[in-house]
């Protein structure tokens, strides 16, 4: 008699509760709604249930007109979805701040390329046999005009969602190869350069053509360029991904599986991927000394990879004990703060020269 239930369209509904004396009661109602909608119901032979996400805004705290109340309930609902659905969330200013920051980043990201705000840092990978540098990984940084140096975790996912990752990723590929070529001509260096490839780029039908073009332009020798892709990128569209990887390999480019152990980690699939390198994620390396399970995973991954003919790189090596453990188990290369943080081009060149002389 007193409340309003309305269907806005699609699967969105609005419930207006009036005369609520205590916020606590609203939470109870939200719980009841989730419970009721979660009960199984039968359609034909199917047992179905739904997992609603509820966002709640309250008058007058979160808005004094319908527009603001609806907008803020919507923001809270997206937060409920992010939290895994089937829950309710009250609107808070914090959500608004997060949403606002995201929008700012997205907006600024659109002009970052043309304003030349990106920069590549390089992190050396060290060969465990002789301590030489076995390659460099190019890591993207954004010199934001207001926020300073931004790390990829602040903007890569937004770039992925908005599709901006394609032009940005293309810039990275070109820039890493340009730098390689410069070091080759000016310093006589020929190091293997690794570039991270986003899942979107891996699906791009123009990728291989573009690789050929860039390698020709910068005279990149066979097997001096490596692309790092995550397991998840391969597993989402496996057959297509394998075709693309095969074509990349035929172009003379190395392929590495990045962050191994954090995704599907399907060892049986590993065999069917045309990859040459496997990178053990740093979460396993981190606790190698204390956690017997992590140590066992690292040992097993190294030995299995070797059986499959793959080279193994360990990420995030920060201590001498980690280095010693991985070296004694014949991990091929190590990457981490123990040796060097990712550095701007000029600084990494100093590091390389020092390493050559020692």
Provide the binding-site residues for Mg ion, judged by CB under 5 A.
196, 228, 258-259, 315
Q: Between 140 and 288, whose beta carbon lies closer to ligand C2E?
A: 140
Q: Which of 62, 166, 228, 294 binds ligand C2E (CB under 6 A)?
A: 228
Distance CA 200, CA 152 (A): 16
Instruction: Report what 140 binds from ligand C2E, Mg ion, none; CB cut-off 5-8 Å by kind.
Output: ligand C2E
Closest CB to Mg ion among 69 and 270? 270
Q: For residue 144, what are its two tokens?
A: 């934001």
Is residue 204 near ligand C2E by the rule CB under 6 A?
no
Q: Which of 52, 55, 135, 169 binds ligand C2E (CB under 6 A)?
A: 169
Mark the segment that binds ligand C2E (CB under 6 A) among 31-39, 41-49, 335-343, 350-358: 335-343
Question: Which letter, b or e, does each residue of 56-79 get, where b requires 16 or more Cβ atoms within 10 Å of its Cβ?
Answer: bbbeeebbeeeeebebbbbbbbeb
166 binds ligand C2E (CB under 6 A): no
172 binds, among Mg ion, ligand C2E, none (CB under 5 to 8 A by kind): ligand C2E
Q: Which is nearer to ligand C2E, 99 or 151 (CB)?
A: 151
Specify the pairing of strand 118-127 against strand 133-144.
Answer: antiparallel
Shortest CB 194 distance to ligand C2E, Å: 8
Span 263-282, contacts to ligand C2E by CB under 6 A: 282
Give the nearest distance from C-beta 318 to Mg ion in angstroms. Answer: 14
Nearer to ligand C2E, 34 or 312 (CB): 312
For residues 81 and 91, give the distance between their C-alpha atoms in angstroms, rounded to a whole number.
Answer: 13
Stretch that binds ligand C2E, among 26-34, 81-89, 124-132, 312-320 (CB under 6 A): 312-320
CB contact set of 278 (below 8 Å; sequence gap of 6+)? 256, 257, 260, 270, 301, 305, 310, 311, 312, 313
Nearer to ligand C2E, 196 or 244 (CB): 196
Q: Quick check: 351 and 124 in contact, CB under 8 A?
A: yes
Q: CB-wise, 108 or 315, nearer to Mg ion?
A: 315
Which of 34, 310 has the CB closer to ligand C2E?
310
Q: What whole-number distance in Å separates Cα of residue 15 and Cα of residue 5?
A: 5
Residue 342, interface with ligand C2E (CB under 6 A)?
A: yes
Q: Judged by CB under 6 A, which of 316, 325, 332, 352 binds ligand C2E?
A: 316
- Contact of 214 with 193, CB cutoff 8 Å: no
Examine residue 135 and tell whether it contacts ligand C2E (CB under 6 A): no
Do the beta carbons of residue 338 and residue 319 sit within 8 Å? Answer: yes
The pair of structure tokens assigned to 35 is 């419970």
Give whichever of 16 and 151 is closer to ligand C2E, judged by the CB atom. Answer: 151
Smallest gap from Cβ 47 to ligand C2E, in A, equals 40
Q: Is 336 in the site for ligand C2E (CB under 6 A)?
A: yes
Query: Binding of ligand C2E at residue 340 (CB under 6 A)?
Result: no
Which option in ligand C2E, Mg ion, none does residue 75 bind, with CB closer than 5 to 8 A by kind? none
- In the set 66, 151, 221, 300, which binds ligand C2E (CB under 6 A)? 151
Residues that bind ligand C2E (CB under 6 A): 123, 139-140, 151-153, 156, 169, 172, 196, 198, 228, 258-259, 282, 315-318, 335-337, 342
């Amino acid at each position: 008699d007193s409340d309003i239930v309305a269907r806005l369209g699609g699967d969105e509904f609005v419930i207006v509760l009036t005369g609520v004396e205590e916020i606590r009661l609203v939470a109870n109602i939200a719980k009841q709604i989730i419970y009721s909608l979660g009960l199984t119901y039968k359609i034909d032979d199917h047992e179905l249930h739904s997992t609603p996400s509820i966002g709640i805004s309250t008058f007058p705290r979160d808005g004094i007109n319908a527009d603001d109340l609806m907008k803020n309930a919507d923001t809270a609902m997206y937060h409920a979805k992010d939290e895994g659905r089937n829950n309710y969330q009250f609107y808070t200013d914090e959500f608004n701040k997060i949403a606002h920051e995201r929008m700012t980043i997205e907006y600024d990201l659109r002009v970052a390329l043309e304003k030349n705000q990106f920069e590549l840092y390089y992190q050396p990978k060290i060969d465990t046999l002789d301590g030489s540098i076995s390659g460099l990984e190019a890591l993207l940084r954004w010199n934001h005009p207001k926020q300073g140096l931004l790390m990829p975790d602040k903007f890569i996912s937004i770039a992925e969602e908005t599709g901006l990752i394609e032009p940005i990723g293309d810039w990275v590929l070109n820039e890493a190869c340009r730098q390689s070529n410069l070091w080759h001509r000016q310093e006589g260096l020929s190091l293997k350069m690794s570039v991270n490839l986003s899942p979107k780029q891996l699906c791009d039908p123009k990728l291989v053509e573009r690789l050929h073009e860039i390698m020709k332009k910068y005279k990149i020798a066979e097997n001096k360029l490596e692309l790092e892709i995550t397991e998840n990128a391969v597993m989402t569209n496996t057959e297509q991904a394998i075709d693309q990887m095969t074509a990349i390999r035929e172009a003379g480019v190395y392929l590495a599986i990045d962050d191994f152990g954090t995704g599907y980690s399907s060892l049986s699939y590993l065999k069917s991927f045309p990859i040459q390198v496997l990178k053990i994620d740093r979460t396993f390396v981190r606790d190698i000394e204390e956690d017997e399970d992590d140590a066992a995973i690292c040992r097993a991954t190294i030995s299995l990879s070797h059986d499959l003919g793959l080279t193994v790189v360990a990420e995030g090596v920060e201590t001498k004990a980690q280095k010693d453990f991985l070296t004694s188990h014949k991990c091929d290369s190590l990457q981490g703060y123990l040796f060097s943080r990712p550095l701007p081009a000029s600084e990494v060149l100093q590091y390389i020269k020092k390493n050559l002389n020692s």
